[in-house]
Structures are given as C-alpha cells and as structure tokens.
Structure 1
C-alpha cells in the first residue's frame, strides 16, 4: 500500500515540465549554495569559510572573478565556474550581486584574551607605524563597510575566512593586480597580529546601514592595483 502511494500518478508522469526562466538571477541561484544560503529558520549555512557577496562593491566582485579566472586566486571550484566566461558576463554577475542589499551578520563571541582583541582594534583603527602597517579603516572606510567602486567591507566576515585570506596572501595563493597592497601588508604582520585582527573584526556587529561608502580620503596609504587612484 505504501509503495502504491509513492508511485507517481499518470497525470504527473505526463505533466509538462515547468519552464525555468532564462534570467541572470535564475542562473546565479547556484551561487547562493555557498555565498548566501540560509536554512528554514533564516540562519546562514556554509558560513565559516565562504563570504557573503551581496552588496559588495561591483568593482571588487568583478576583480575577484577576474582573479579566479586568470589564476591570481587559487580555488579550483571558482576557477572552474568562471574559466570560460567573458569579461562582459563577469561584469553582469558582479553587478547583480552588488545590487543586492548587504546581509546583516551577528557578531561572533570572542574566543581570545582581551589584550588580543585590543591589539586587533589598534591595528584596525590606527595601524602600526613602526611596521609601516596602515590602519584598515584608511582603505576599507571608517565604518569598515567598504568603499565604492572596488574596496570590500571587512565586517560580517567569519573569523576563519579572514584568517584564510591572510594565509592565502602570505602563501601567494591569493594575489591581485600589482602593486598588490594586501600582500605587502600581510608580509608585515605577524601571525599573532593576523589572529588579533580577524578576532576583533569578527566580534564587531554589522552597522545598521552596511552599504559601502561612496568615497574616502585619497591618496591611499599604499599604492593598490585593485583600487587605483582616480584620474
């Protein structure tokens, strides 16, 4: 009896397949399986190592898609997905996600000592002049939500993801257009500093308006090929 219940009806077998709209939004739904997926309660999943990309500056997203396609970033799945996509289509993808509202993200509970968090706060807000490390806010904006058109926000990112990206720069698995400012900064930071910065950033709540800033003071503290000075 149970077997009969599970069998499809004749009507179901002959029903016309449901048409799937051929739209950019439909094609990019698969990206949400890593970058924006939530469970039935609305809680994020796959949220330890995969960043949310909704609301990031379009120029930044486009640059990262190029970096994956051209081998400056090493992650086989992303390289496979974008390997044969032309520049105009990558720009469309970047624009699609940039137009989405940035997602709120709960702050992580700190798991490090208070002095480690304080070191992270100092580096983020003030930098370290002795090591020629600029403050994160000097490039990523005073609210750390990024800057148009090509500088990403740093809040709402998992601590493990931030650590992984610093490691990728250190190991040259992640590169950017020269001059690669983040590679230079990472080389000047100790592993303890990286842990302090990632821990402090992850412990900060996302601001009520997490959109990227329209502009910041120029020139930047380091020449940066991914965010060149505007003519």
Structure 2
C-alpha cells in the first residue's frame, strides 16, 4: 500500500495542479486587466494560476470563504508562509505538493508578485453574533487581557490591523472560518512558525470563547483605505517572534 501511495502521489499532485491551472486560467482570462498584463512583465501571474483557484483572481479571495487573501500582504510574511508550508511547519497537503520542489528564490518571487497587487477588498459579511460577543472581541483586539498576559492584536498587527511591513500580516479582510481554523491550529500544534513561535504562545492563552469573539469582530470590519500594511512598527512587539527580523 505504501508503495502504491508513493507511486500515486506525483500523479495526484499533477492532476490537482492541472485542474487548478485550467480553472484559474479561465478566471484570470476574464479579469479586466489580463490582456494588458502591464502588472506582470515576468509572467508570474501565469505561473501562479494554481494559487488563484483557491485564493481568488489576483489573490483577492472573498469574505465568506475559507481561503485567505494574498494580494497586498507584506512580502516577508508571504515568503515565510510559503517556506513554512514547503518545509512542513504548516500542514496543508495540496499546497505542500505544489511547493515541495520550489527553491527559496522562486518562493520569494511568488511572494513579491502577490505583495505587489493592489486590488480592492470586498465588503465584509454582516455579523450574526450577539453584540456582547462582538464587544468582547473588540476589547481583546485593542486591549488584550493583562491578567492573562494576553497582548492586544494591535500591538503586533498595527493600530489599523492591516499589518506592518515586511513581516506582520493584516487581520482585516480575512474570512471568519480561516481565522478560527488558524488560531485553532496554533492551539493544537498543527501550525508552527520559526522559533520562537509567538502566535502559538498567544493562541494558547486564548479560550474557545476568545477565539470566537475575536474572529467574529475582525471578520465583520471594513478594511480601511486600500488595506496597505503600515511602513513600520510604531512600538516594540510585546513578545519575540521568530518570523520577524529585528
């Protein structure tokens, strides 16, 4: 059985890639700026078609789905996540198959491509949760919980929560399902980052109710301006993060 699985794996991966590219090509070909291609002189938009099958045309995603937005995210953050998935710190088999043979240099070029895209954010899905839960989420985002040494989200992700260049991602414009799943993955140890893994430490301080409240509040917010990350951090980070160069 193991030998059969080993033989089938590249075929399955190739099939997934072929289906992804075919579907994504149809999506990108219908985008208004596809013909001009002025934003893509090196052809990276074509070479990343498989990514857009899940992450949306130009990596813009949608507010009600699962997959996160890639467009306009800090380049260092995108690069770190591609490394983490390729090297096994993050577990997502479909992406692992697509990335496993790509070099560091190619992953950086992919990250630079998506980071350079400036496309509008969709309107958020209206919240269905009670006002008390949303208020709890808002307080945790802006104030944290000093009694539990739980830092506020804005202390690392920027006061506008659109991230900080080049390594810290924004929290707005992400689907609630994605926020829940990633916080849960850090809590359970299924997701890892470079050591010290600051988000794993933060997530393990959060209760299930905290996660629900924070994800509900964040996913219901309109992204300010064009959603661009801040150029620099306004204050020192409250906890050491291995994925952030100092």
TM-score range, shorter-chain basis? 0.7 to 0.9
| 2:6 paired residue number | none
The aligned runs of 1:57-206 (5 Å cut-off) are 57-206=74-223
CA RMSD of aligned residues (A): 1.9
Measure the CA separation in 2 of the matches of 1:186 and 1:146: 18
Which structure is larger by alpha-carbon Rg, 1 or 2? 1
TM-score in terms of structure 1 length? 0.84
Higher fraction of helix: 2
SS of the aligned residue for 2:230 comes to coil
Conserved? CA contact 1:147–1:215, under 8 Å:
yes
Measure the CA separation in 2 of the matches of 1:22 and 1:193: 44
1:172-216 CA distance string (max 9 Å, x none): 111000110100001000000000000000110011221000011
| 2:48 paired residue number | 28
Structure 2 residues without counterparts, runs of 5 or longer: 1-40
| Deviation of the 1:35 alpha carbon | 0.7
Residue 46 to residue 107, structure 1, CA distance change in 2 (3 Å): closer
Bigger mean CA deviation after superposition, 193-202 or 101-110: 101-110
Structure 1 residues without counterparts, runs of 5 or longer: 1-20
Conserved? CA contact 2:63–2:122, under 8 Å:
no
SS of the aligned residue for 2:98 comes to helix
Residue 159 to residue 86, structure 1, CA distance change in 2 (3 Å): same
Conserved? CA contact 1:166–1:186, under 8 Å:
yes
TM-score in terms of structure 2 length? 0.79
Conserved? CA contact 1:158–1:202, under 8 Å:
yes
| Deviation of the 1:217 alpha carbon | 2.6
| 1:210 paired residue number | 227
| Deviation of the 1:65 alpha carbon | 0.3
1:74-109 CA distance string (max 9 Å, x none): 000111110010100000000000000143121221
Measure the CA separation in 2 of the matches of 1:85 and 1:226: 20
Conserved? CA contact 2:141–2:152, under 8 Å:
yes
Conserved? CA contact 1:56–1:102, under 8 Å:
no
Conserved? CA contact 2:63–2:125, under 8 Å:
no
- Aligned pairs, number: 205
